[in-house]
A and B are shown apart, each in its own frame.
With several copies, the nearest count.
Chain A
Amino acid sequence: MKTSIGYTKEQMAQHVADELQEDWVVNVGIGLPLTILPYVPVDKDIIFHSENGIIGMGPELADPAQGDNDLLSAGKRPVSLIPGASFVNHADSFVVVRGGRLDATILGAYQVAENGDLANWKLPGKRLGSMGGAMDIAVGAKRVLIMMTHVTSDGRPKIVKTLSYPATARNCVTKIFTDRAIISVTQRGLVLERLAPGSSVEDVQAMTEPALIISEKLKSS
């Protein structure tokens, strides 16, 4: 397996950012998902939701020292507001989440199963894990977009037939963005939509446990 080929982090971020549509309400998970923010054009009006009750969260501050503890993202970093932002309490923030008002969320993952099951909060065998808002968000968002490396650091598939990691939520994932491919989760199964440069269908299938359906519109780029 060649690790030098595939999408760069920047390309992955760009793909996810391109997926987001004008006027969507979007929750972005901490970690890798946060890297998409610079790739969302400023004139594309997207309402970012933060679990702690910010609706219309703007970019992180360039200088965190100028930050204010009363205006932090879910990742506890100082952020700004867009014009027309608002604050709600934590219970109401999850009214937005579970009530179906999130058009999309972007989350990281340890594993995604063929049926859309997601594992992203706890390592197997560990006594402790932190789901934060991920379980609610995975259940509530209209589209759950996953951003992760295609395989683990020791080369094992993260897209699996059945989760071996503790589940975050069942049947929730819409689309998976990795460094090697973009894959949709459908009723028919996993559909390979796009291949990273230098990847073949065979390469990607080899690093993916379930059988992939090849999209008729498969892009390689």
Chain B
Amino acid sequence: MKNKRVANPAEAVSGVFDGATVLIGGFGLGGLPEALLDALCDRKVRGLTIVNNNSGHGETGIGRLIGEGCVAKVICSFPTSKAAYVFKEWFEAGKIEVEVVPQGTLAERIRCGGAGLGGFLTRTGLGTEIAENKKVVAVNGREYLLEQPLRGDFALVEADLVDPRGNLTYRMAARNFNPVMATAADQVLVQANREVGLGDIDPAVVITPGLFVDRYCIVDSVAKTPARAG
């Protein structure tokens, strides 16, 4: 069996290259793979396109990644939260691009990328500026927007349990985008709270089958700082 476990976050992200598209799990701070993000900052990669629901929270995680100049473009559904002041500063200075995508469409575009499909039709965004430059397709007399798949060169995922095959579970609502992103990247890099033995996760309880996972490291994030408003 392939050894997917690596020693630390630095080794997990060691293959991330300049200009890569990186899917980043999490919703706000829930399920955000912060240790992997810190390791990415430490590598001083440049020109990343990052995909996350938000555009950073304070000067940690995605905020730090942006603040240290690693990011060329953000694809997200909610760029304007108060806590995303680092993004805001870079955006207003014209140093970073943004693509704003409705949250359900964002999740579905990533799933679509993972599922090897070429696109999907949705009514979300019809008659809004989101529809600009998009194809409108009529099916049975109803109009839909054609939305395209979104894949990453890498996905950064925060899981709860991991076994040696890379099977993953998620802790409560830390699940969010993580399992969807884990299907939609060429390399799936995981930080998990805890490793368990082969066969210790009930096959019916696995959320992300190990075949999607390339590397994992153990970082216990359960003892997180309490939630902050934002």
A and B in direct contact, judged by CB atoms within 8 A:
yes
Q: Interface of A with B (CB < 8 Å)?
A: 22-23, 25, 45, 47, 49-56, 64-72, 76-78, 81, 83-91, 93-101, 117, 122, 128-137, 139-140, 166-170
Chain B residues within an 8 Å CB radius of A23: 1-2
B58 to chain A, nearest CB (A): 12
B218 within 8 A of A: no
How many angstroms between the C-alpha atoms of A90 and B175 in the bound complex? 8
CB-CB under 8 A for A94 and B98, given A70-B31, A87-B175, A133-B77: no
Decide: A88 and B125 in contact? CB cutoff 8 A.
no
Residues of B7-51 whose CB lies within 8 A of A: 27-32
Looking at the complex, which one of B30, B167, B207 makes contact with A71 (CB distance below 8 Å)?
B30
A5 to chain B, nearest CB (A): 33
Chain A residues within an 8 Å CB radius of B32: 69
Looking at the complex, which one of A25, A45, A130 makes contact with B77 (CB distance below 8 Å)?
A130
Residue of B nearest to A88 (CB): B209
B199 within 8 A of A: yes
B203 within 8 A of A: yes
How many angstroms between the C-alpha atoms of A25 and B128 in the bound complex? 26
B100 within 8 A of A: yes
Decide: B117 and A133 in contact? CB cutoff 8 A.
no
| A-B residue pairs in contact (CB < 8 Å), sample of 19 | A22-B2, A25-B211, A56-B203, A67-B227, A69-B28, A69-B224, A69-B226, A88-B209, A96-B209, A128-B80, A128-B98, A131-B77, A135-B104, A135-B125, A136-B103, A136-B104, A136-B124, A140-B104, A169-B126
Looking at the complex, which one of B165, B176, B199, B211 makes contact with A96 (CB distance below 8 Å)?
B211
CB-CB under 8 A for A55 and B127, given A83-B199, A84-B167, A94-B115: no
A72 to chain B, nearest CB (A): 5
Looking at the complex, which one of B1, B91, B129 makes contact with A166 (CB distance below 8 Å)?
B129
Interface centre among B28, B81, B103 (most CB of A within 10 A): B103
Interface contacts beyond A68-B226, A90-B27, A94-B107: sample of 6 additional A-B pairs, CB < 8 Å, sorted by A: A84-B210, A87-B172, A94-B104, A139-B124, A140-B104, A167-B127
Decide: B110 and A91 in contact? CB cutoff 8 A.
yes
